[in-house]
Amino acid sequence: MQVKYLHTMVRVLDLEKSIAFFRLLGLEETRRTESETGRFTLVFMAPPGQPECPVELTYNWDGDEGLPSDSRHFGHLAYAVEDIYEMCARLQAAGVTINRPPRDGHMAFVRSPDNISIELLQTGDSLPPAEPWSSMQNTGHW
């Protein structure tokens, strides 16, 4: 039996803030579904050229009282990036907390506006240690 990956779904509290966050990561909207009967919106976002690897942002129009609770039971989403330092600087400049800085030039963790843990991994070899990242402490948890 063959299995095909479809998507990862996460619930979001503020659809526009969540879309803006995933755009900062470089993802683009690939599809949107609005259901008047179900009272929800689904927004699929994927890395450019990889529409087969989307994250589905599920927004319930009437709210979701459980958000933004600690989403560690979910695990995390992981994305490879060309320059982890540049990505973390861009996210930080937009007000995103770098929970686990890329001290090793290879891995970092941030959280979305809905507390979803996002792992960023350097493509290829780790970058040489660089400031301010190599001396930056963890913030919160991931």
Measured CA to CA, the distance from residue 59 to residue 76 in angstroms comes to 19
* Parallel, antiparallel or unpaired: strands 28-35 and 77-81: unpaired
- Residue 82 annotated among the catalytic residues of the structure: no
3-class DSSP state for residue 42? strand
Q: Which residue has the tokens 């998507």?
A: 7
Q: Residue 97 CB: number of other CB atoms within 10 A?
A: 11
3-class DSSP state for residue 94? coil
Out of 28, 29, 56, 119, which one is annotated catalytic?
119
Measured CA to CA, the distance from residue 61 to residue 91 in angstroms comes to 27
Cα 17 off chain centre by: 12
Which helix (H) or strand (E) is 77 found in, with range? Answer: strand 77-81
As annotated, the active-site residues are 119
